Structure 1
Amino acid sequence: MNTFKVGDVIRKTRLGLKITQEQLSDGICSVGSLSKIENNLQVPTKANFDALMQRMGKTGDIYYSFVSERDFDIQEMKHRITLFMSVRQYEEARKILMEFEKLVDKKEVLNIQFILYIKAIIDKNNGESLEHVLDLFLQAIKITIPNFNVNRLSNYLLTDEDIMIINNIALAYYNLDNKEEAIKLMYELIDYIEDRYIDTKSKVEKLPLILYNLSKWLGLEKRYEEAIDICNKGVEVCNKHGKLRCYGEIIYNKGYNLYELDRREESIDCIKQAYYIFLAQQNTEYASNVVAFAKENLNLNLEL
């Protein structure tokens, strides 16, 4: 069986996609460092390897098995922080983040980006101003994309972290009443993921959330037909890949937009589907919202 060093994997992937060393390394490491990595004269950190592979639409997990003890500790702390964030235990995440900051070198740009990204989310949930939160997100994205411009998204090579940061930048724009800019940015982000991402795993982990956010905004802006199209795309992605993240929310959004277009029977079908999905997920908060909407707008009695 053929085996390749990580430098070989990066070089072969980059050349296959006709990406220059300058394009790939920008914001992550120097061109000189990338050249050494590709020639197996330097071993990248796990974070740098993942970021380089993600920019090329690949996951690095299947290639990179050997890391230093310090690298392992850093990845373990990032995993714990992310886990606490996913269950909204922000104070626990903040405590670990403080320890993480002490461990990280200021030259480790991807780890600095991660710190800014997590701080922004924690600050947002602690009631800090949206302007402050947006500034942190912009600081974070400009670490890997120094010339970041919301109107030039297709020109960049994005990592997984970049995509989630841009998603949050769009959220901040929308909440700051810059709604058209937010919607435009979401459309560009969806186009990027669909056109540039090769790795299916990364694609299906991110698309449902982004499609959900966009469908919600379009509905609130009374762009109901557009919203339904986005919902249909979200349902298709979830069904095709067996992903339940945002599945119920997307179907609920579709039901709402169908209701606004007086397509009552179709709306009822979607509302019932969303209701049963939330019940199966034991998501009583969202199930309660569906029950209230069904009773108030569709004269439909659902029980918790």
Structure 2
Amino acid sequence: MQNYRLGDYIRQRRQELNLTQEQVCAGICEPVTLSRFENGRQTPSRTRINAILQRLGLPDDRYYALVTPEELEIEALKKEIVACNALKHVNEGFDKISQLEKIVKPDDQITQQFILRSKVLLGGLDKRYSSDE
């Protein structure tokens, strides 16, 4: 399955309609902001993305299927951590967990639980954690 970033989707549709960034973002945001969205350097607010998608004639429910570069990085790290656990690469796994902890948002409870679970599993392999903990 191929992953698409929201900005790629916006740029593609804008170009299909032969619209400039200025035309698309008029009254919504600055052209430089739209450029950042398209290049994945900034994540738009839900309000702005709804307005941009509406202007491009796209349903805003597609927004949920698209991911940001940060989300892609988080998912890639999670896969690598699972692989480290399966292959018993404990130190590499803990390195990946540290990377994940730096980018995950504190309110992302699912990923926070994943981190705790992974620490326990990897820590059990090298006896960092006992079964009592």
Structure with greater helix percent? 1
Q: TM-score, normalised by structure 1?
A: 0.23
Q: For the pair shown, which has the larger CA radius of gyration, 1 or 2?
A: 1
Please, what TM-score do these two structures have when normalized by structure 2? 0.49
